[in-house]
Structure 1
């Protein structure tokens, strides 16, 4: 029965076509990885989108993903896009037939378990033939005529693809319908998850090369009770970044941009004062000589020393505003995103000597 179950899983046609037995799937997977950058998740081969991500600038390797401020929003887990020509689809489905796979040299069963294994394989092959037959009927006669071979070069079959960052998300199965035909240069109507500039922009959200939040302090190291600490983020490091997600056919794209707009400080104790009082400021202003008597535009003042060997966790959260523009002139904003860092600070009291 396990063989039958594996066949049913492999023949699921998630995102259009799986159609491979559990055994040969591993060999076929290597071919697909070379051909289209496929990822594998368990026994199911999941083909990666043809969407290309470009841009981002030189932000180094130490980048992070933003946490959307709107906790109910997520980038799309899957979408439909042009993937397979009529000829390719026909070849994929026909190659899934058990007789098309390289036959194994059968040996005479030596035990009851060998007989059961052979019986299970025969049953699995029968299931495979039945499922393949259903898909052959669908694309050859029921819905289309011979897979639309006569329209080769005039369009593509659109299939569901998974967002590689959310491949294990149950929502990625929402794009598991049959592959469907769309003429070149057109986009399908009444398909909410069909690729579009908006879908591309949301996908690009997680591909933004956001530098890890870092802050500078003055004074550095140990802090002093009732003395101001200047806090700021390096404006050369934290600047606007953009990436573009695009498809060649149909020729659509979207550029998603993130811009740092504010720094929020949480002192880690109620015995503290923030500047400004809300704790949220712009990226701050670096401290320099001559500013000793000025109130920091972004900073904190601790009112009580830390206990012995204790620290206050100063949390700094950088907020980025996100917007996008599509190749068709569309555009909008996406939920702002944040990334935080924490500095453990020791605060001491000034020791003074009182003389009579």
Structure 2
């Protein structure tokens, strides 16, 4: 995002970036504590740094069914065009702390050997902006770093998503730190300001769906032309939730993302097979299960969910892929909510198929 107004026109984006990049950064930090079982964890994640040299101190906390140690979860979005936010703006420091850090960094760099030309001019403009109250276009200046309003709000700054692999996207929230009063929304021009919707997307990114192995009959080894039944019991197939929240004095938001299983897709691992139903997608039953367990007396029936292999796997195996589709929605602070793209997560199972023309049942 470009710096707005006449400041950019005066010194140029490159010079401003060079000047800002000299401000020291702490390192990204994570802390995670498992809760109860492998399906739940509480993770606190600070934001990363960006090329403005600013580091947002507000922590996003994840809880529920989330990956440990701040890592990404195992959900794959069914919408290839959807992606979690690469960066956002969040509360950074109160006025007095902001003054202490910024004035020290700016003055230190202005006095550094060789800091002249456009970079020096950019630092001088930053000093005018925060110390002398110089503003431009839709961005007000802050006289004496807004110290007279200390405790009444916070400066907000850009935060990198540390799980975004694209450096350009990750470092694209480059607007200068801006002031937000307690209880007020950030100015509308900051579209990437942290919100329940952004928190929901981050909860989606960190959500950990349970490993679910499909029950098969016959198990592991089946026969050519013999239907293989597949099913999932309701007990191992339930909805999961992940929550992302952020809270500092005078500001708090949260969003909970809920994933509900809706279907199971079977891919037999070979073209020489028939799927039931023909699409290979088994929908959820009224009781929350999928498919139907095999039982004695069903040998001559067609399974509602399953596969018939038409050719032997020889000395190897077929890689049966069972992928569950999860319908994902979210709710958040202030009654906000909506839908997110369906998520998928699957397991592979090796299936041996033997060539036996006659089967005694």
Question: 2:268 and 2:254 mapped to 1: Cα distance?
Answer: 42
Q: Which runs of 5+ in 1 are unaligned?
A: 1-6, 101-120
Matching residue within 283, 304, 329 for 1:297? 304
User: In terms of mean alpha carbon deviation, does 188-197 or 287-296 score higher?
Assistant: 287-296
Secondary structure in 1 matching 2:206: coil
User: In terms of mean alpha carbon deviation, does 264-273 or 213-222 score higher?
Assistant: 213-222
* 1:247-272: CA deviation from partner (whole Å, max 9, x where unpaired): 22422221111111111011122221
* 1:283-302: CA deviation from partner (whole Å, max 9, x where unpaired): 33333455444432211011
Q: Structure 1 residue 149: deviation in Å?
A: 0.3
* 1:98-144: CA deviation from partner (whole Å, max 9, x where unpaired): 759xxxxxxxxxxxxxxxxxxxx732599876554332211112111
Q: Which runs of 5+ in 2 are unaligned?
A: 1-14, 32-43, 135-140, 285-289
Q: Structure 1 residue 49: deviation in Å?
A: 4.8
Match of 1:109 in 2: none
Q: Structure 1 residue 180: deviation in Å?
A: 0.7
Matching residue within 339, 351, 354 for 1:333? 339
Asked if the contact 1:10–1:19 (Cα under 8 Å) also holds between the matched residues in 2, the reply is no
Matching residue within 319, 322, 343 for 1:316? 322
Question: 1:266 and 1:76 mapped to 2: Cα distance?
Answer: 32
Matching residue within 159, 166, 169 for 2:157? 159
Q: Does 1:73 align with 2:96?
A: no
Match of 2:173 in 1: 175
Question: 2:258 and 2:98 mapped to 1: Cα distance?
Answer: 37
Distance 1:330 1:83, change over 3 A: same
| TM alignment of 1:46-125, pairs within 5 A | 47=56, 49-56=58-65, 64-97=73-106, 99=108, 122-123=113-114
Asked if the contact 1:225–1:305 (Cα under 8 Å) also holds between the matched residues in 2, the reply is yes
Q: Structure 1 residue 74: deviation in Å?
A: 0.5
Question: 2:309 and 2:199 mapped to 1: Cα distance?
Answer: 46
Match of 1:250 in 2: 251
Secondary structure in 2 matching 1:286: coil
* 1:180-233: CA deviation from partner (whole Å, max 9, x where unpaired): 111101112322111111111111111212123422221112210111111223
Asked if the contact 1:10–1:44 (Cα under 8 Å) also holds between the matched residues in 2, the reply is no
Distance 1:43 1:247, change over 3 A: closer
Q: Please identify the structure whose Cα radius of gyration is greater.
A: 1
Asked if the contact 1:97–1:129 (Cα under 8 Å) also holds between the matched residues in 2, the reply is no
TM-score by length of 1: 0.76
Asked if the contact 1:48–1:164 (Cα under 8 Å) also holds between the matched residues in 2, the reply is no
Question: 2:294 and 2:30 mapped to 1: Cα distance?
Answer: 52
Q: Which has the higher helix share?
A: 1
Question: 1:42 and 1:156 mapped to 2: Cα distance?
Answer: 21
Question: 2:241 and 2:300 mapped to 1: Cα distance?
Answer: 39
Asked if the contact 1:36–1:48 (Cα under 8 Å) also holds between the matched residues in 2, the reply is no
Q: Does 1:284 align with 2:291?
A: yes
Secondary structure in 2 matching 1:123: coil
Q: Structure 1 residue 324: deviation in Å?
A: 0.4
Q: Structure 1 residue 339: deviation in Å?
A: 1.8
Distance 1:339 1:242, change over 3 A: same
Question: 2:126 and 2:326 mapped to 1: Cα distance?
Answer: 47
Q: Structure 1 residue 175: deviation in Å?
A: 1.1
* 1:28-65: CA deviation from partner (whole Å, max 9, x where unpaired): 549x8899856579996754652222223899xx9942
Asked if the contact 1:305–1:349 (Cα under 8 Å) also holds between the matched residues in 2, the reply is yes
Q: Which has the higher strand share?
A: 2
Distance 1:44 1:223, change over 3 A: farther
Aligned residues between the structures: 316
Asked if the contact 2:48–2:55 (Cα under 8 Å) also holds between the matched residues in 1, the reply is yes
